[in-house]
Amino acid sequence: MAEIEKIRGAAVYKLLTELQQYKIPLKIRRTTDAEEYSGYIADIRKRKRTLHFLINSDENILGNRDAEHPSRLRFEFIDKENIKYVFESDAAEISRALVWLAFPEYISRYQRRRLFRLEAPHGTRLYFNVNAVGYKLLVVNVSLGGTLGVLVSLTKRMQQELAACKSEILENVELVFPPKKKAAQGSTVRIKRCRIIRQEPNPLTQKLECAVEFKEIEEGEQKKLTQLFYRWQREYLRRRKLMGA
């Protein structure tokens, strides 16, 4: 299953600008048939107060269009995190081998539910041991499949031992979430087995960041994590709606 997020407004402009800047290849299909083409965004321009993106393609991506059957194109691309994006637009005209298309109303972002990440509640911690030494990770974001965080109270020896155990399985890890209210208790999810898949210094803070993948969680703990995660997701979407995102 995948989560589908609709990107709108200024975020559409930002995303299409990045596609142009980095010449990210687009998979292009006409919605009237199964033919597949390729191209990239060559430019972004405004015409008659309407933003358009211009596609450069050596192929006849519009086909034999006419006034009764205008060409509508479906675009798909994959970003560096292997997340799929899809959007559609009507072709306005062709000029100097460039196809003019109106900005889409929205772009659909497909992300596997297990990898869908949210900003972790402030104060979230991940605790684990390496060679009987305890480590604490300040969690930055969390998904149903893992976390990204910053290690604290890290000595040079601890960092060396941590680097030596890269990709090894860690057992009996605790993911601790802060309470919503001061008087309440926090929530702890016990991860039976996990693995550090990446560790590198943050270029701005020089703190060591670790990406942790959950390998095995017992059913009850998985259910607890899922319930917490979807509660945060509802709160996140509610905040976005209030902000007009």
**Model confidence at 111: pLDDT above 80:** no
Cα four-point dihedral sign 235, 116, 27, 80: positive
Confidence of residue 75 (pLDDT cuts 50, 70, 90): very high
Q: How far apart are CA 83 and CA 63, in angstroms?
A: 29
Q: Quote the pLDDT of residue 200.
A: 87
**Model confidence at 25: pLDDT above 80:** yes
pLDDT tens sequence across 187-241: 999 999 999 988 888 877 888 999 998 999 998 998 898 888 878 877 776 776 6
Q: Quote the pLDDT of residue 67.
A: 47
Q: Where are the domains of the chain?
A: 2-114, 118-243
Confidence of residue 3 (pLDDT cuts 50, 70, 90): low
Query: Biggest alpha carbon distance in the chain?
Result: 73
- Three-state SS for 227? helix
Give strand pairing partners of 41.
55
Q: Quote the pLDDT of residue 127.
A: 96
- The DSSP annotation for 13-64 comes to HHHHHHHHHTT--EEEEETTS--EEEEEEEEEEEETTEEEEEEE-SS-TT-S
pTM: 0.54
**Model confidence at 2: pLDDT above 60:** no
Q: How far apart are CA 57 and CA 47, in angstroms?
A: 21
**Model confidence at 89: pLDDT above 70:** yes
**Model confidence at 9: pLDDT above 80:** yes
Q: What is the mean pLDDT of residues 103-121?
A: 79
Return the number of other C-beta atoms located less than 10 Å from residue 38's C-beta: 12
Torsion of CA 94, 96, 98, 104, to 10 degrees: -50
Amino acid residing at 227: Q
Class of domain 2-114: mainly beta
Residue pair 38/82 in contact by the 8 Å Cβ criterion: no
Q: Quote the pLDDT of residue 150.
A: 94
- The DSSP annotation for 139-175 comes to EEEEETTEEEEEEES--HHHHHHHHHTTTPEEEEEEE
Q: Quote the pLDDT of residue 235.
A: 77
Confidence of residue 180 (pLDDT cuts 50, 70, 90): confident
Highest-scoring range by mean pLDDT, 51-65, 124-138, 154-168, 183-197: 124-138
Q: What is the mean pLDDT of residues 17-42?
A: 86
Residue pair 91/70 in contact by the 8 Å Cβ criterion: yes
CA-wise closest residue to 196 among 236, 161, 163, 237: 163
Q: Quote the pLDDT of residue 188.
A: 94
**Model confidence at 53: pLDDT above 90:** yes
Domain 118-243 bears CATH identifier 2.40.10.220: yes
Beta strands in 71-227 (DSSP E): 72-78, 84-95, 98-102, 106-112, 118-119, 125-130, 133-143, 146-152, 169-177, 187-201, 208-216
The values of phi and psi at residue 62, to 5°, are: -90, -20
Structural element, H or E, at residue 12: helix 10-21
